[in-house]
């Protein structure tokens, strides 16, 4: 007979512990306790246990991050596991390498800061494998997520992603990476136009949803940046043209916005969003 405590533990933790302990046994990491913790984190987020998903988020990525923006990969990247064990976690975690925490750090940044080069190597190997296997969809998500670090990745022979893709006959990836570099330049030009408050340039550059929603290396979309710069006309244009921007989060708990008058800023933002709502009502 199960006691009440036993029933609770079996129902709340049974599946998670069985799956996680099985993963630990298969990976045989150097630090099994830390690896078990990472597996439990991964199970929690992949099954949306105790997490909250924001509406409109295409990939439900926010559900895989805690209140400090850290995913299971952030947690794991700062701890030694041995390269094979960490690489296995990368394959199963269901998180994005582009996710940034409240300090704007990706899991790769965390590993670099901790001096765990074996984790950095595992992350880079995983990105290389995307190119080798022709996984355009995942590489595209990294580009849109602001993971510019992918263009710094090299293999043991010093070849970059484009050279690696060409070596393996992945000409579709070569073409994608070439276009991606041009795309990142376009994203940067859009963000520069927002910073200087040039609405005509923003209207010209932001001609697709992809460039509008593309995040920079701090996890900010064009609308986040326009809001920070208090460019209400640009905010209105972006929100009306690409409503999905209104539902996209940046990194959690950004530094507070310092302005001469927060009250005036709030008034501007409120007025801008009223105009946006009016435009929808009038359609």
Q: Give the CA angle between residues 16, 17, 18 to the nearest 5°.
A: 95
User: Going from the N-terminus, what domains does the chain have, and what CATH number goes with each?
Assistant: 1-169 (no CATH), 180-283 (1.25.40)
Query: Is the CB of residue 130 less than 8 Å from the CB of residue 176?
Result: no
Q: What is the reported pTM?
A: 0.70
Residue 226, token pair as written in the block: 């326009």
Query: Is the CB of residue 110 less than 8 Å from the CB of residue 74?
Result: yes
CA pair distance 109, 7, nearest whole angstrom: 41
- Point out the least confidently predicted range of 80-89, 107-116, 202-211: 80-89
pLDDT value for 259: 37
For the segment 158-177, the average pLDDT, to the nearest whole number, is 94
Mean pLDDT value across the chain: 78
pLDDT value for 83: 61
Q: What is the pLDDT of residues 8-24, one digit of tens each?
A: 655 666 667 767 777 77
- Point out the least confidently predicted range of 24-28, 31-35, 242-246, 266-270: 266-270
Query: Is the CB of residue 119 less than 8 Å from the CB of residue 81?
Result: yes
Which DSSP symbol is given to 83? H
Model confidence at 272, pLDDT cuts 50, 70, 90, reads: low
pLDDT value for 269: 57
With both helix axes pointing from N to C terminus, report the angle between 262-281 and 232-241 in degrees, rounded to the nearest 10: 30
Model confidence at 54, pLDDT cuts 50, 70, 90, reads: very low
Residue 134, token pair as written in the block: 């022709």
pLDDT at position 167 over 60: yes
For the segment 162-179, the average pLDDT, to the nearest whole number, is 94
- Point out the least confidently predicted range of 29-38, 99-108, 259-268: 259-268
Which DSSP symbol is given to 254? P
For the segment 22-49, the average pLDDT, to the nearest whole number, is 67
* Nearest CA among 71, 73, 76, 77 for reference residue 51: 71
Residue 263, token pair as written in the block: 């009250």
Strand partners, 154: 160
């Amino acid at each position: 007979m199960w006691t009440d405590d036993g029933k609770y533990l079996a129902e709340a933790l049974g599946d998670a512990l069985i799956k996680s302990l099985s993963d630990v046994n298969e990976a045989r990491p150097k630090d099994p306790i830390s690896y078990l913790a990472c597996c439990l984190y991964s199970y929690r987020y992949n099954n949306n246990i105790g997490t909250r998903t924001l509406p409109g988020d295409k990939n439900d990525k926010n559900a895989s991050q805690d209140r400090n923006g850290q995913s299971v990969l952030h947690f794991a990247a700062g701890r030694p596991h041995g390269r094979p064990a960490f690489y296995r976690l990368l394959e199963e975690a269901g998180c994005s390498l582009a996710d940034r925490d409240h300090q704007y750090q990706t899991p790769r940044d965390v590993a670099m800061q901790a001096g765990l080069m074996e984790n950095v190597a595992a992350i880079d190997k995983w990105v290389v494998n995307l190119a080798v296997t022709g996984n355009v969809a995942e590489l595209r998500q990294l580009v849109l997520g602001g993971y510019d670090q992918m263009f710094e990745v090299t293999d043991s022979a010093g070849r970059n992603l484009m050279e690696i893709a060409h070596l393996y006959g992945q000409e579709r990836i070569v073409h994608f990476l070439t276009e991606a570099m041009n795309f990142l330049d376009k994203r940067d030009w859009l963000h520069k136009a927002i910073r200087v408050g040039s609405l005509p340039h923003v209207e010209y550059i932001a001609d697709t949803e992809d460039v509008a929603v593309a995040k920079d290396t701090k996890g900010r979309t064009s609308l986040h940046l326009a809001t920070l710069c208090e460019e209400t006309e640009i905010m209105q244009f972006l929100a009306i043209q690409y409503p999905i921007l209104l539902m996209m989060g940046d990194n959690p708990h950004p530094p507070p916005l310092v302005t001469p008058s927060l009250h005036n800023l709030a008034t501007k933002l409120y007025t801008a969003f009223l105009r946006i709502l009016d435009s929808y009502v009038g359609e």
